[in-house]
Structure 1
Amino acid sequence: MNTVRISALVGAIAFLVGLAFATFSELKVFLPALLKGLVVTLQVAGLSFVLFLFCSLLAALGRTSANLALRFAAGIYVEIFRGTSLLVQLFWLFFVLPEFGVVLTPMTAAVLGMGLNFGAYGAEVVRGAILSVPRGQTEACIALNMPEWKRLFRIVLPQAFAIMVPGMTNLTIELVKATAMVSAVTLVDITSAAVKQNLIHYRTVEIFLITMLLYYCLCQVVRYGSKLLEVRVSRYRGALN
């Protein structure tokens, strides 16, 4: 079934792209600029994704820690970045921090802003997954005198990972689409490139149709990758049933 759906998706995309090439005479003029924007979007999304995963795990472990200071620090991080606008956070990183002597490149500001923001949301997904692991699993590890780090990384997290995949997939797709905001810190991503090309060539339908297709393809890659990942980790779900 997945193979049929993938084939249909690839065929539909190929048809639309072929139609665009056949119908829109100026495609070759603005497409290179959109592809350059795509490279920037992929760079921001890829680096932000790594930071997003790291922050999610670190904050979730802090939120579930027995240490009060760690729980407090993780809670402050989650509430600040989840309770304020991503756009404002990008402005702070790129425009406000220089007022205090901290100057970040546009790419660094974009990756930090995206990664920290989505990490705050991901922390709650990971925390919920960790808490979903039956308490008996942990108690059995304690009875076997298993060290805490070993209990966490060999017993709890593998089972929690199987639970968190769908939620983290949704956040990853949202992260890809949210890269459109990085133009606020002067990066020329797909959306910014599309706006600029439209101002030059006035081909609104063609330019933004191609832009939409590019975002759609990126999100479908994430969705398909998550499906493969779910199949690989499905064996851990049996331990929770």
Structure 2
Amino acid sequence: MITLPRRLAHLVLALAIALTPALLSAPGAAAAPRSGSVAPAAASDAIPNPLRVGTEGVYAPFSVKKGDEFTGFDVEVMKAVGEHLGVEVEFVGTPWDSMFAALGAGRFDIVANQVNVNPERKQLYDLSDPYVDTSGVLVVAENNPEGITKLTDLKGKRSAQNITSSWAGVAKDYDAKIIGVDGMNEAMASLKEHRVDAIVNDKLAVRNYIATSPDPGVKIVAETDEKAQSVFAAKKGSGYMPAINKALAEMEADGSTQAIYDKYFTADNATPGAWELIKANAWPMAVAAVKVTIPLTAISFVVGLALALAAALGRMSTSAVPRGIARAYISIIRGTPLLVQLFLIFYALPEIGIDLPPFVAAVIALSLNVGGYAAEVIRSAVESIPKGQWEAAQTIGMSRATAMRRIVLPQATRTAIPPLSNTLISLLKDTSLTSIILVVELTQAARFAAAPTFQYMPMFGLAALYYWIICTVLSLVQDRAEERFSRYVAV
């Protein structure tokens, strides 16, 4: 049987033992800390306790994450609903384009994120009574090079939209060319840089952006005729809405909803400077890197390396079965995007009863991806060893397995270290994709930090610095590993 070199095997085992607690505790799962304790006795029988609520955390002023806490108009309305119902509320930070997929997969119970009423949503989901009415606005760059002044001018023009939002549907109705973006902040940045011609979005959100952004660079030129009603959404047949509607009615009657509205849409909120923003968020972002990004990278690489070795040995096997299985695995992994693999593991598997925590799902997807790519690196490294090495080992009585373990793999490891190090560094950066499955790693932490003030340069510059530091450390480890394994290379 072919095995890893003893020292490498010991290293893999030590890393696995050291990092197992991080895997089992699933850091980075996006559920926020529980809000204040509420007596469960008053809870409705239909409402789960705690009530898990999906929200973006990057859509000011409706949903914003500051440090470990979610805040914003929608968030505070939902917290107040929880108090009326007598249940705790847990918020799960979720990108908008994944919101309803996560709801369908049971990742949370309800969506609170400026969900607008439309016929399709009425058919697919349970919707609450409206808790705020607003309208859409047409936004253009300040210098308005396309001369857009009304909605009918959108015909043939590029409009930056969340492709699953109601506002994208409005822009499409006016024959705009839809350019998909992750959120309003990215849309505004694209508009100011003239990558798109216009945006259609919520009036309150746009007004908040213009009022709080240090350099808005955009203006409102028209308002939609249609009024938008914002509601909470749950899976069809959930049975939550009667109790939630009763709570909303009570809040309307006692003035709670109006008080929250006044707090977010009439208050004068000062915008902190870039340096203040960096000082406030440098430590939380560092914690996200240390507690989530680095463990996610380390665990996925160790597991992926084991899968890669097995696949490489399968590819080199003289038996058709392991060779065929290894070929199929490598082909599937290299032939499908990592983002699709993450969606399949996290959102599709619950449909067949396999429900994985976000961190565990991320480890599985990243490990499979590393295994598929690193397998060919290991195979090519082994096959690069001259046949004379095998023959010399056989001459002194070594079996093929012993020759592999003591002669071939130590030399092949030195050859494989540079490309495997590239794989490791790419894996570190690929962890940023796991935000799509609710993992709050370094990049997502930067998005949360930048969203309330729309200052992306300092936050993503800081994230880039953290990634660079980690990659520099990995490069130093690579140099040391190459030096140590050079002694195994035949001269």
SS of match in other structure, 1:202: coil
Indicate conservation of the 8 Å contact 1:90/1:109, yes or no: yes
SS of match in other structure, 1:213: helix
Q: Which amino acid aligns with 2:420?
A: M
Query: Does 2:279 correspond to 1:28?
Result: yes
Q: Which moved more, 1:194-203 or 1:162-171?
A: 194-203
Q: Which amino acid aligns with 1:100?
A: I
Matched-pair identity in %:
38
Query: Does 2:389 correspond to 1:137?
Result: yes
- Which structure has the larger Rg? 2
Q: Where does residue 331 of structure 2 map in the other structure?
A: 79
**Post-superposition shift, 1:172?**
0.7
The structure 2 residue matched to 1:162, chosen from 404, 414, 417, is 414
State TM-score, norm by structure 1.
Answer: 0.86
**Post-superposition shift, 1:177?**
0.7
Listed as ranges, the matches of 1:89-104 within 5 Å are 89-104=341-356
Query: Does 2:303 correspond to 1:54?
Result: no
Q: Where does residue 209 of structure 1 map in the other structure?
A: 461
Q: Where does residue 479 of structure 2 map in the other structure?
A: 227
Q: 1:113-166: CA deviations, max 9, x gaps?
A: 111101111000000000001111112223333223211111110111111011
**Post-superposition shift, 1:32?**
3.0
Which segments of structure 1 move beyond 6 Å, counting only runs of 4 or more? none
Inter-partner Cα distance in structure 2 for 1:182 and 1:234: 36
| Unaligned ranges ≥5, structure 2 | 1-273
Root-mean-square deviation (CA, aligned residues, Å) is 1.5
Indicate conservation of the 8 Å contact 2:286/2:466, yes or no: no
Inter-partner Cα distance in structure 1 for 2:287 and 2:472: 20
Q: Which amino acid aligns with 2:371?
A: G
Indicate conservation of the 8 Å contact 2:300/2:363, yes or no: yes
Higher relative contact order (CA 8 A, sep 6+): 1
**Post-superposition shift, 1:25?**
2.2
Indicate conservation of the 8 Å contact 1:33/1:197, yes or no: no
Indicate conservation of the 8 Å contact 2:338/2:365, yes or no: yes
Q: Where does residue 296 of structure 2 map in the other structure?
A: 44
Indicate conservation of the 8 Å contact 1:125/1:164, yes or no: yes
Query: Does 2:427 correspond to 1:175?
Result: yes
How many residues matched?
Answer: 218
| Unaligned ranges ≥5, structure 1 | 1-22
Structure showing the higher helix proportion among its residues: 1
Q: Which amino acid aligns with 1:188?
A: V
Q: Where does residue 95 of structure 2 map in the other structure?
A: none
